[in-house]
Structure 1
Amino acid sequence: MNLRKSVLTLSLLALTQVACSSTENESISSVNSLSVPENITTPNIVRTQAVGDLNFTDGYPSDETMSKVQRYMFVQRAVNAFVDGIPISSMHAMLEGGKSLGGKANQSVLISESLIDKNSLWLTPNSTTPYISIEVDVKNGPVVLDINSAVLGLVDDAFFKYVGDIGLGNPKDKGKGGKYLLVHDSFEGEIPSGFIVLKTPTYRNWVPMRLNSTKDVKQFKDTFKMHPLGQEPKMDFIDFSSVKYNTIHANNEDFYRELNAVIQYEPITAGDSHYRGLIAEIGIEKGKEFNPQGEQLAALKEAAGIANVHARNEAFRPTNKDVYFYGDDRNWFLPFGSTMSHEFTKDGKVFIDDKTAFHYIATGITPLMTAQFDGAGSSYLVTTQDEKGAALDGNETYTITLPPTPPMKRFWSFMVYDNQTRSILPTEQRSGGFDSTGEVAKNQDGSVTVTFSPTKPEGKVNWVQTLSNKGFFVMFRMYSPTQEWHDRKYMIGDLIKQ
Structure 2
Amino acid sequence: MKQINYFLLLFVLFGSSYAVAQNQEFEDEMFKFRAIETAVWAMPMMNFKTYRDALSDNGVGYNDVAYNSKIQNWKFQTATPNNTTPYIHFYWNVKDEPIVIELPASEEGVGLFGTFMDAWQRPIDDVGAKGRDAGQGGKYVIVPENYDGPLLQGAYTYVQRTNNGFCVLRPIIPNANQENVDKATALTKKIKIYPLSQAANPEKMNYVDIYDKNLECTPVMDKTIYKEIHEFIQEEKVEDMNLAFMGMLKQIGIEKNEAFTPDERANKIYDEAAPLALEYLINQYHRKLNPWMYEGKKWSVLVPTGSFETDWTYEFPSHFDYNAKGALYYAIITSIKNYGSATFYVDLAETPDGQWLNGSDNYKLVVPANVPVKNFWAVTTYDLETASYQRNIDKSSIDSNMDKVKKNKDGTTTIYFGPKPPKGKESNWLPTVEGRRFFLLFRFYGPQKEVFDGSFELNDIEKIK
TM-score w.r.t. the length of structure 2 is 0.85
Match of 1:359 in 2: 329
Match of 1:179 in 2: 139
Match of 1:456 in 2: 421
Residue from 66, 77, 95 that aligns with 2:52 = 95
Match of 2:177 in 1: none
CA distance in 1, matches of 2:379, 2:315: 28
CA distances 1:297-331 after superposition (whole Å, capped 9, x unpaired): 33333332332231232244x134x622113x211
CA distances 1:351-399 after superposition (whole Å, capped 9, x unpaired): 5554333211221123223x4xxxx132221212223333323333322
Residue from 115, 121, 127 that aligns with 1:154 = 115
Structure with more relative contact order (C-alpha pairs < 8 Å, separation 6 or more): 2
CA distance in 1, matches of 2:209, 2:240: 32
Match of 1:119 in 2: 75
Runs of at least 5 residues in structure 1 that lack an aligned partner in the other structure? 1-53, 56-61
Residues 415, 474 of structure 1: 8 Å contact kept: yes
Kindly indicate whether residue 150 of structure 2 is the aligned counterpart of residue 190 of structure 1. yes
CA distances 1:38-66 after superposition (whole Å, capped 9, x unpaired): xxxxxxxxxxxxxxxx99xxxxxx76665
Residue from 285, 288, 293 that aligns with 1:319 = 288
Match of 2:409 in 1: 444
Aligned residues: 428
Q: 1:217 to 1:385 in 2, by over 3 A?
A: same
Residues 315, 356 of structure 1: 8 Å contact kept: no
Kindly indicate whether residue 171 of structure 2 is the aligned counterpart of residue 204 of structure 1. no
Match of 1:216 in 2: 183
Q: Which amino acid aligns with 2:244?
A: H
CA distance in 1, matches of 2:24, 2:424: 67
Match of 1:163 in 2: 124
Question: Equivalent residue of 2:375, what SS?
Answer: coil
Q: Which amino acid aligns with 2:260?
A: F
Q: 1:297 to 1:397 in 2, by over 3 A?
A: closer
Q: Which amino acid aligns with 1:113?
A: S
Q: Which amino acid aligns with 2:366?
A: T
Residue from 194, 217, 242 that aligns with 1:227 = 194
Q: 1:64 to 1:448 in 2, by over 3 A?
A: closer
Q: 1:65 to 1:427 in 2, by over 3 A?
A: closer
C-alpha RMSD of matched pairs (Å) = 2.5
**Pairwise CA distance, 1:163:** 1.9
CA distance in 1, matches of 2:348, 2:143: 39
Q: Which amino acid aligns with 2:299?
A: W
CA distance in 1, matches of 2:275, 2:436: 22
Q: Which amino acid aligns with 1:133?
A: H
**Pairwise CA distance, 1:473:** 1.5
CA distance in 2, matches of 1:348, 1:406: 40
Q: 1:336 to 1:420 in 2, by over 3 A?
A: closer
Q: Which amino acid aligns with 2:421?
A: K
CA distance in 2, matches of 1:203, 1:417: 31
Q: Which amino acid aligns with 2:99?
A: V
Kindly indicate whether residue 438 of structure 2 is the aligned counterpart of residue 477 of structure 1. no
CA distance in 2, matches of 1:409, 1:349: 39
Residues 113, 241 of structure 1: 8 Å contact kept: yes
Q: Which amino acid aligns with 1:323?
A: P
Match of 1:254 in 2: 224
Residues 67, 185 of structure 2: 8 Å contact kept: no
Residues 311, 356 of structure 1: 8 Å contact kept: yes
CA distance in 2, matches of 1:306, 1:426: 22
**Pairwise CA distance, 1:492:** 0.5
CA distance in 2, matches of 1:174, 1:128: 22
CA distances 1:455-479 after superposition (whole Å, capped 9, x unpaired): 3334464222223444321111112
Q: 1:143 to 1:326 in 2, by over 3 A?
A: same
Q: 1:345 to 1:431 in 2, by over 3 A?
A: farther
Question: Equivalent residue of 1:323, what SS?
Answer: coil
TM-score w.r.t. the length of structure 1 is 0.79
Match of 2:458 in 1: 492
Higher mean displacement: 349-358 or 261-270? 349-358
CA distance in 1, matches of 2:388, 2:61: 24
Question: Equivalent residue of 1:302, what SS?
Answer: helix
CA distance in 1, matches of 2:391, 2:275: 25
Kindly indicate whether residue 374 of structure 2 is the aligned counterpart of residue 409 of structure 1. yes
Kindly indicate whether residue 237 of structure 2 is the aligned counterpart of residue 267 of structure 1. yes
**Pairwise CA distance, 1:271:** 6.1
Higher mean displacement: 298-307 or 175-184? 298-307
**Pairwise CA distance, 1:345:** 6.7
**Pairwise CA distance, 1:215:** 4.2
Kindly indicate whether residue 393 of structure 2 is the aligned counterpart of residue 433 of structure 1. no
Kindly indicate whether residue 247 of structure 2 is the aligned counterpart of residue 281 of structure 1. no
Residue from 237, 242, 255 that aligns with 2:212 = 242
CA distance in 2, matches of 1:69, 1:104: 45
Match of 1:298 in 2: 268
**Pairwise CA distance, 1:269:** 4.1
Q: 1:245 to 1:75 in 2, by over 3 A?
A: same
Residue from 433, 445, 463 that aligns with 1:467 = 433
Question: Equivalent residue of 1:368, what SS?
Answer: coil
CA distance in 2, matches of 1:306, 1:123: 19
CA distance in 1, matches of 2:363, 2:53: 37
Q: Percent identity?
A: 25
Q: 1:125 to 1:326 in 2, by over 3 A?
A: same
Match of 1:145 in 2: 101
**Pairwise CA distance, 1:144:** 1.2
Residues 344, 354 of structure 1: 8 Å contact kept: yes
CA distance in 2, matches of 1:222, 1:363: 23
**Pairwise CA distance, 1:200:** 0.6
Match of 2:8 in 1: none
**Pairwise CA distance, 1:443:** 2.3
Residues 98, 143 of structure 2: 8 Å contact kept: yes
CA distance in 2, matches of 1:431, 1:68: 48
Q: Where does 1:23-34 land on structure 2 (aligned, <5 Å)?
A: none
